[in-house]
Structure 1
Amino acid sequence: MIKIALVAAMEQEIIPLFEQFATDSAWYQKDEKIFINDTLGISVYGSVLGVGKVNAAYHTAEILLEFSPKLVINIGFAGGMQHGVSRGDIVIGNDYRQVDFQGFNMGNEAGIIPKSKPYVIPEIFIKILVEKSKELGYPCHVGRITTGDFFLSDSKKKQEIIDKFTPVAFDMESAAVAHVCAEKGVAFVAVRTLSDLADDQAEATIKTSSDNIEQRPVKLVLNTLTRSLASI
């Protein structure tokens, strides 16, 4: 049985996962957070981490200890950081940086905690995620995701982060989850949908939109899991 943890910062981001399990007879609920598909040989732990890096790191560590997943997937929203992206696009992380972490300048890469272990990036799984995203009609962007303990809604700050890190997206948890997973040697990938463009209009964009895009990461991940377990 392959164990996978699907985590999100907020209830709104994880609810589509539980709704999908409830309507698909191939899955059954083992307990409050664990769902199993015997045919596929998958056990999925779905959980809310809470907003921000501290919540994300703390609860990820708990999940790794309790569940011992082979792969952790962080689903949810993010702010777009590339020119030409749109709300609802999918972003997939293959590198992660903390924009508000600054250690001594001793040759360490910006946004990386010194002496931390390298991220375990599931490259083949990411490739299949991209293929499936195209099949579902979701524009998809793969690259670095930046993380900070603040909601990014400032065009000037956005440009500063772009100039320093060249990311595809910004969120408040992914790099923290990635760091904890790396320390334990567990594969990690963030699969998020753009809720806004992380600019001066970001907050207004979120407040005035109601298009159920939070369902996209869940649909994409579950479609990919049912397609190729060998990639995990």
Structure 2
Amino acid sequence: MRIGIIGAMDEEIALYLEAMQQTKQTVKAGITYYEGQMEGKEVVLCKSGVGKVNAAVTTQILIDTFQVDRVIFTGVAGAVHPALNIGDIVVSTDCIQHDIDVSPLGFAPGQIPFTEQWVWKADEELMQQAIAAGQKLEADVQVVSGRILSGDQFVASREKVQWLYEQFEAHCTEMEGASVGQVCAMNDVPFVVVRSMSDKADGSAHVNFVEFTKLASERSYAIVRNMLTAASEGSSVIVYSTQNCIDCNLVKQWLTAKGLAFEVRDVMTSRAYQEEVERFGFMGVPVTVVGDKAVKGYQPAELEQLVSSLSSN
């Protein structure tokens, strides 16, 4: 698995550059892509630059040239939800471009005209991994999931913050995430955006922006690092699943009761699923895979036999 990690600014990728074992650097469209290893995982790191166009170009190159299987966008944002404070973390449930406004023609604010989709949902598995990783941070850090807004503007007024909160029920605002989400969705690549609050998006950012950006970047980095560490420590058991699947939930509960770590992959977004279909000759959900063996459906006896190979390895 190859993971693409994007930050918009130098401060947002500096810690990754220090931590990763680089193997190669490539410049495309003026953007430097760093290939290497981090926490035992294969990663491609890059700085997109600020703004939606930069982020979209960067993401498409990550997918086309570097063949990443999933994308994590990490960095800082301005808090919109009144319960958030500087340093708190928001993990995206979905993303919207708040600065698209064709409402005079009858479209909702944020809606892309003449298209069915304009809310870009984060991958459920990545979202849960990020939340779990955030729970390993200091006790005073609030980690929540919620809607992230993107626009080519630095929001700096209380009135605008109030409008964004009321109109979109948003948690925070930044300048890249929704375009990353759109490009990923168009290419069927799972994504999640992880943002730490550097300011309240209310005009007070100038007070200690540099200091708060450093703190926020450190916390965003810590979450992604924890995500990679957990994946590396992770399991030999993979469960291909989908939402609202009763048997999928039964398999997960069975594995949990056995005390087994497992990785959940959504069949709607996992590129590996089709390969597994061809390898094992059946499709549908759930499919539980251990090495070169698999069990379809919720079948405790067969699952018991499947996972017994783990203790003998």
Secondary structure at 1:151's aligned position in 2?
coil
The one-letter code of the counterpart of 1:142 is S
1:89-116 residue CA offsets vs partner (Å, 9 max, x unmatched): 1111111111111246787654242244
1:231 Cα deviation from its structure 2 partner: 4.4
1:68 Cα deviation from its structure 2 partner: 1.6
Compared CA separation, residues 47 and 134, structure 1 to 2 (3 A): same
The within-5 A match list for 1:75-154 is 75-103=74-102, 110-113=109-112, 114-116=115-117, 119=120, 121-137=122-138, 138-154=141-157
Compared CA separation, residues 53 and 211, structure 1 to 2 (3 A): closer
Q: TM-score with structure 2 length normalisation?
A: 0.66
RMSD: 2.2
Compared CA separation, residues 231 and 180, structure 1 to 2 (3 A): same
Work out whether 1:220 is the aligned partner of 2:223. yes
1:164 Cα deviation from its structure 2 partner: 0.5
Aligned partner (choices 19, 26, 30) of residue 23 of structure 2? 30
CA distance in 1, matches of 2:8, 2:213: 19
1:54 Cα deviation from its structure 2 partner: 1.1
Compared CA separation, residues 54 and 143, structure 1 to 2 (3 A): same
Gaps of 5+ in 1: 22-27
Secondary structure at 1:198's aligned position in 2?
coil
Work out whether 1:54 is the aligned partner of 2:57. no
Q: TM-score with structure 1 length normalisation?
A: 0.87
| 189-198 or 134-143, which deviates more | 134-143
Secondary structure at 1:213's aligned position in 2?
helix
Counting aligned pairs with the same residue, the percent is 30
Work out whether 1:70 is the aligned partner of 2:85. no
The one-letter code of the counterpart of 1:31 is K
CA distance in 2, matches of 1:107, 1:92: 31
CA distance in 2, matches of 1:210, 1:54: 22
Gaps of 5+ in 2: 26-33, 235-262, 266-313
1:175 Cα deviation from its structure 2 partner: 0.5
CA distance in 1, matches of 2:210, 2:167: 29
| 128-137 or 68-77, which deviates more | 128-137
CA distance in 1, matches of 2:123, 2:211: 35
Compared CA separation, residues 208 and 36, structure 1 to 2 (3 A): closer
**For the Cα contact (< 8 Å) 1:117–1:183, is it kept in 2?**
no
1:157 Cα deviation from its structure 2 partner: 0.9
1:64-109 residue CA offsets vs partner (Å, 9 max, x unmatched): 1111211111101100111121111111111111111124678765
Instruction: Provide the residue aligned with 1:25 in structure 2.
Output: none
Instruction: Provide the residue aligned with 1:186 in structure 2.
Output: 189
Equivalenced residues, count: 223
1:106-163 residue CA offsets vs partner (Å, 9 max, x unmatched): 8765424224487453212322321221222231121100111011111111111111
| Structure (1 or 2) with the larger CA radius of gyration | 2
Instruction: Provide the residue aligned with 1:24 in structure 2.
Output: none
Q: Which has the higher relative contact order, 1 or 2, with Cα contacts under 8 A spaced 6 or more apart? A: 1
The one-letter code of the counterpart of 1:74 is F
Instruction: Provide the residue aligned with 1:201 in structure 2.
Output: 204
Compared CA separation, residues 158 and 219, structure 1 to 2 (3 A): same
